[in-house]
Amino acid sequence: MRILVLGGDGYLGWPTALHLSRRGHDVGVVDNFVRRQYDFEMGVDSLVPIVHLQQRVRVWEQVSGLAVTPFVGDLTDPAFVSRIITEFDPEAVVHFAEQRSAPYSMIDRAHCVYTQVNNVVGTLNVLYAIAEHNPAIHLVKLGTMGEYGTPNIDIEEGFIEITHKGRTDVLPYPKQPGSFYHLSKVHDSHNIQFACRIWGLRATDLNQGVVYGQETDETTMHRDLATRFDYDGVFGTVLNRFCVQAVIGHPLTVYGKGGQTRGMLDIRDTVACVELALLHPAAEGEFRVFNQFTESFSVKQMADMVAECYPGAVRIEHMEDPRVEKEEHYYRAAHTKLLDLGLVPHLLEASTIRSLLAVVDRHRDRVDPVAIAPTVQWRKTASAVRASAAMPGA
């Protein structure tokens, strides 16, 4: 299958591109490197060193004998999007190319507007390019479980049957996202569903949980194929951050009570899920939603697991939650559709955490401890936040 991976230089986009390439697909990757740019802005770095996209692609060809075609450009540029869709002529587009940090979107007005415009306009341009070039192209779009928030009823996969005053309909599941970033994904979902309805497009919205891990079967084939590993207060995700804190002897910082429960998955399941969605495309005009995670854990549970697995002493510390979120809540979310397609999950076991701790240990000299603390406060908006954001860890 000819597959274009948008955001193919990122944390998950790159491993997905390699996985699809090794599975025999003809892969193009598209990126504008803003993710690397955010590192300069924030003064932080991936824990694991990563090489340039052009070098990654060369090494992949040497190691695997397989070609991956890179395209450099910005999805908010409609001429660029139209050109790559026409030139590469894909059967499917996998869309990772969005600003994906909740704290980054909450830094201040400018970062909020940037996140929503970048994500929403990029996706609109992709929808138009597909509709105009070839409406049969299957769009596999990365959404997030965070679109749903934490309702007091079970979360379903995208839609819910509602019986109300004696009548029944199946409607889009109500969304209660928790940041301007999560909101941008909700906006995307609505836009994509509408495009499927009016133009007959085919789309799969992968509402993904929080991903942990850094290694896949492909990225470990050569040092230069490594993907990034973020542990900082803005782009780092919780389990990765706890592992870094354990290794450098920093207390594991749990925001609030730690009862915040989220769907999680192993990076190896991300790449598998994307291929499963591609191999079983949506029908013409269909907008479908898969909840892409394998297990749910609370933040406190994850801290406890890391503390148990780490050979040394680990302290767990609760700090004021910088976000506005329920610290204890009901959480039960359906995630059967990808299992039905054949997903065999890598569940979170002690061995997974130990291998993650080993990755961190290999690069422990690169850890910047001041980068870990959260610098963005949901409840504040103004200049105070801008000042601290300009100096992460200040």
Binding to its own copies (CB under 8 A) within 250-289 occurs at none
* CA 383/CA 144 separation, integer angstroms: 29
Kindly tell me which of 301 and 381 has the beta carbon lying closer to its own copies. Answer: 381
When binding is defined by CB under 8 A, the residue of 61, 87, 89, 132 that contacts its own copies is: 132
3-state per-residue secondary structure call for 7-18: CCCCCCHHHHHH
Q: Does 53 bind its own copies (CB under 8 A)?
A: no
Residue 197 or residue 223: which is nearer to its own copies going by CB?
197
Instruction: Determine which one of 11, 38, 148, 181 is catalytic.
Output: 181
Indicate which residue of 148, 173, 185, 294 is catalytic.
185
**204 is an active site residue:** no
324 lies in the site for its own copies, by CB under 8 A: yes
Assess 349 for contact with its own copies (CB under 8 A). no
Its sign, for the CA torsion 185, 189, 190, 194, is positive
Q: Are 61 and 67 in contact (CB under 8 A)?
A: yes
Q: Does 52 bind its own copies (CB under 8 A)?
A: no
Stretch that binds its own copies, among 18-26, 49-57, 182-190, 215-223 (CB under 8 A): 182-190
Q: How near is the Cβ of 124 to its own copies at its closest, in Å?
A: 6
Identity of the residue, 26 or 156, whose beta carbon is nearer to its own copies in the bound complex:
156
Residues 141-180 that bind its own copies (CB under 8 A): 151-154, 160, 162-165, 167-169, 171-180
- Residue 86 within binding range of its own copies, rule CB under 8 A: no
Contact by Cβ (8 Å): 147, 212? no
> At its nearest, how many Å lie between its own copies and the CB of residue 353?
33
Is there a catalytic annotation at residue 144? yes
Cα-based angle 14, 62, 74 (whole degrees, multiple of 5)? 35
For the beta sheet containing 295-298, the strands, ordered from the edge strand earlier in sequence to the opposite edge, are 210-212, 261-266, 295-298
| Burial zone of 65 (CB within 10 Å; 0-12 exposed, 13-18 middle, 19+ buried) | exposed
Asked if residue 344 binds its own copies (CB under 8 A), the reply is no
Among 124, 238, 274, 278, binds its own copies (CB under 8 A): 124
Q: Which residues pair with 163 in a beta bridge?
A: 168
Please list, in sequence order, all residues whose beta carbon lies within 8 angstroms of the beta carbon of residue 71, skipping any fewer than 6 positions away.
Answer: 4, 28, 29, 30, 31, 84, 88
Judge whether 310 counts as a catalytic residue.
no
List strand residue ranges (DSSP E) for the chain, in order.
2-6, 26-31, 68-72, 92-95, 138-144, 159-164, 167-172, 202-208, 210-212, 252-255, 261-266, 287-292, 295-298, 316-319
φ, ψ at 239 (rounded to 5°):
-70, -45
Q: How far is the CB of 197 from its own copies (least distance, A)?
A: 6
Of 21, 99, 119, 125, which one interacts with its own copies (CB under 8 A)? 125
Specify whether the CB–CB gap between 112 and 153 falls below 8 A: no
Pick the closer one to its own copies by CB: 96 or 173. Answer: 173
Using CB under 8 A, pick the residue from 34, 72, 131, 307 that binds its own copies.
Answer: 131
Smallest separation, CB 286 to its own copies (Å): 15
The C-alpha atoms of residue 74 and residue 99 are separated, in whole angstroms, by 12
- Residue located via tokens 């309702």: 151
Tokens 């309909």 appear where?
A: 169
- Binding residues for its own copies, rule: CB under 8 A, are 78, 109-110, 112-113, 116-117, 120-121, 124-125, 128, 131-132, 151-154, 160, 162-165, 167-169, 171-180, 183, 186-187, 190-191, 194, 197-199, 324, 330, 378-379, 381-382
Give catalytic residue positions. Answer: 144, 181, 185
